[in-house]
Chain A
Amino acid sequence: MSIHQLTNSAGEWLRGNGPHSDIVISSRIRLARNLASYPFVNAANRRQRFEILNRCHEQLTNGRLGDDVLWVDVAAGTDEDRQLLVERHLISRQFAKGDTQIEGQAPRAVAVGSGETFAIMVNEEDHLRVQVMRTGMQLAEAFSQIDHIDDVLESSMDFAYSNRWGYLTACPTNVGTGIRVSVMLHLPALKLTGEIEKVRRAARDMHLAVRGLFGEGSEALGDLYQVSNQTTLGRNEREILADFESSIVPQIISYEQQARHALVRQRPAALDDRIQRAWAILTHARMITTEEVLGLLSQLRLGVNLGRIDNVGIRTINELFLMTQPAHLQRITGCEPEPAARREARADLIRRRLGA
């Protein structure tokens, strides 16, 4: 499998058929790990970074994590390749940009598992950032996979660990378990009714972060929100997971459901108007920006989930969220990179996919 084949379909986490998939887009968990006896990435020189990279390459591609692990040398790729990986949530934006303090492209890579169920960044902020992704609300499944990957890795690598602080990480906000549990939620009704601020406040009180589609610093485009834990020390992995499974996520799901029901009951015409207008624009526009598409797809997704429109399936909508992003669009349609050409290619692609 090569990076070029990645664009042909969406990762499994975008299938849209997991539990609570009307509201929960995906569940993801990441672990931060560092090799003992090496400096952290930011303090490592070019030679040490290559050494870390080579050690990890051997361990990640020796077949113990599956036969079809795709190793992508992120430093060797083009800007478009890196953007593609960001859009697929396989690497972070910071990782794509690289470390500007290192001369040339900083040595770094990502190992991608079959079906994109896991991705392991090497030489990001920590030596290893292991990430597992699942469609819908499947944190327990995601945790058992990531725990297994961690066991496999630690059987042949020594991770920096202290009895007091747990797994040692470059930034002490990740120290301890090194775990970040993150759930991506589609909350169009809470956004429409203006109650999303309540969710933000409640999350903050519970020491959770609420971010947009692409993590830190990104806006909540397409009414997509990521909720994740911030505390990694003093609570074990299962306690952190249990918070999400039995309290946080069910609560937000129930808020969103109430808001959706209220819209159907109190403002059915206004709701249908939004949904039908979204459909009309998506199936007739000749030029369209990513931002506008995300907003319209969000309305359409809401309409399908509420049974107000049945012209299209959730999977197609989920895939369009991805395929209309700049690097994907360029790879799929071969369009010119100018904004105007892109807007035109984007509109064509959407009309084709929606059968218009």
Chain B
Amino acid sequence: MKRKCDQCERPATTHSVEIIKGQKIEKHLCDLHAAEQGLTLKATQQPINELLDSLVKIHSGNATKPAKEPVCEHCNTSYKQFREQSLLGCPGCYAAFETQLSSLLERAHEGATHHVGKAPRRAGMSEQRQQQLMHLRKRLGEAVTVEDYELAARLRDEIHKVENNN
């Protein structure tokens, strides 16, 4: 059986052994957590944006205050939850956690910062409309839960309207 990541349930793909003050420290991490700790990079320099981030924090006196945990407003997934499960909650999470994800993705994808390649051929839905629909669906779910079927029906009509208004 393959070893699991020290920090989550995914299989460990990066393994390292360090000797610090005569103590052997073994690390077994999945691709995500390895990337987060910079273990997949051959060079160990800190990415420039993180350096800047920490500098800004020190100068603005924020370094000692605990940072507020970011939460995605569309699906209520917190960044902490993402770190635990390695899974985001919805497409909106990419915007909600953009700062954190930027450096993580850069390290997981050989330094890439932007998509290159196929894009949906037709213009598709704008990101704004995607988010509007996410929001409506969330409200619909809540309406069904409290059995407010009148509101649910209205929301359903609204969703159809937004979807077909392409």
B-contacting residues of A (Cβ < 8 Å)? 34, 36-40, 42-43, 45, 47-48, 125, 147, 150-151, 154-155, 158-168, 170-173, 175-177, 207, 209, 216-217, 230-237
Contact: B110 with A43, CB < 8 Å? no
Residue of B nearest to A212 (CB): B2
Q: Does B37 contact A (CB under 8 A)?
A: no
A215 CB to closest chain B CB (Å) equals 10
Residue of B nearest to A161 (CB): B120
CA distance A97 to B74 in the complex (A): 28
Q: Does B32 contact A (CB under 8 A)?
A: yes
Contact: B120 with A154, CB < 8 Å? yes
Contact of A216 among B11, B113, B116, B134 (CB under 8 A): B11
CA distance A159 to B115 in the complex (A): 15
Q: Does B109 contact A (CB under 8 A)?
A: yes
Contact: B110 with A231, CB < 8 Å? yes
- Tell me the total A-B contact number using a CB cutoff of 8 A: 146
Q: Which residues of A contact B133 (CB under 8 A)?
A: 36-37
Q: A162-B127, A171-B32 are in contact. List 12 more A-B contacts (CB 8 A).
A: A34-B91, A37-B134, A154-B122, A161-B120, A164-B114, A170-B87, A216-B2, A231-B108, A231-B110, A233-B108, A234-B109, A234-B114
CA distance A162 to B112 in the complex (A): 15
B166 CB to closest chain A CB (Å) equals 8
**Would you list 23 pairs from A and B whose C-beta atoms are within 8 A, ordered by A residue?**
A37-B132, A37-B134, A37-B137, A39-B75, A42-B85, A43-B90, A48-B137, A125-B87, A147-B118, A154-B124, A158-B120, A158-B124, A158-B130, A161-B119, A162-B127, A168-B94, A172-B94, A173-B31, A176-B117, A177-B118, A217-B1, A234-B112, A234-B116
Q: Does B88 contact A (CB under 8 A)?
A: yes
CA distance A34 to B75 in the complex (A): 15
Contact: B130 with A171, CB < 8 Å? no
B118 CB to closest chain A CB (Å) equals 6
Report B104-147 CB contacts with A as 1/0, cut-off 8 Å.
11001111111111111110110101111110010001001000
Residue of A nearest to B13 (CB): A209
Whether A172 touches B32, Cβ cut-off 8 Å, given contacts A39-B90, A47-B144, is yes
Q: Which residues of B contact A176 (CB under 8 A)?
A: 109, 112, 115-117
Q: Which residues of B contact A168 (CB under 8 A)?
A: 91, 94
CA distance A216 to B11 in the complex (A): 8
Q: Which residues of B contact A233 (CB under 8 A)?
A: 105, 108-109, 112, 114-115
Q: Which residues of B contact A217 (CB under 8 A)?
A: 1-2, 11
Contact: A231 with B112, CB < 8 Å? yes
Q: Which residues of A contact B116 (CB under 8 A)?
A: 166, 176, 234-236
Contact: A160 with B88, CB < 8 Å? no
For residues 57 through 77 of chain B, which have their beta carbon under 8 Å from a beta carbon of chain A?
A: 74-75, 77
Contact: B94 with A165, CB < 8 Å? yes
Q: Which residues of B contact A230 (CB under 8 A)?
A: 31
Q: Does B96 contact A (CB under 8 A)?
A: no
Residue of A nearest to B162 (CB): A37
B163 CB to closest chain A CB (Å) equals 8
A349 CB to closest chain B CB (Å) equals 28
CA distance A105 to B2 in the complex (A): 26
A247 CB to closest chain B CB (Å) equals 16
Q: Does B89 contact A (CB under 8 A)?
A: yes
Q: Which residues of B contact A236 (CB under 8 A)?
A: 116-118
Q: Which residues of B contact A237 (CB under 8 A)?
A: 117-118
Q: Does B86 contact A (CB under 8 A)?
A: yes
Q: Does B101 contact A (CB under 8 A)?
A: yes
Whether A39 touches B89, Cβ cut-off 8 Å, given contacts A162-B94, A172-B105, is yes
For residues 29 through 82 of chain B, which have their beta carbon under 8 Å from a beta carbon of chain A?
A: 31-32, 74-75, 77
Contact: B88 with A235, CB < 8 Å? no
Contact: A36 with B130, CB < 8 Å? yes
CA distance A237 to B119 in the complex (A): 11
Whether A43 touches B75, Cβ cut-off 8 Å, given contacts A38-B134, A176-B109, A217-B1, is yes
Contact of B110 among A38, A147, A234 (CB under 8 A): A234
Residue of A nearest to B112 (CB): A234
Residue of B nearest to A150 (CB): B118
Q: Which residues of A contact B101 (CB under 8 A)?
A: 172
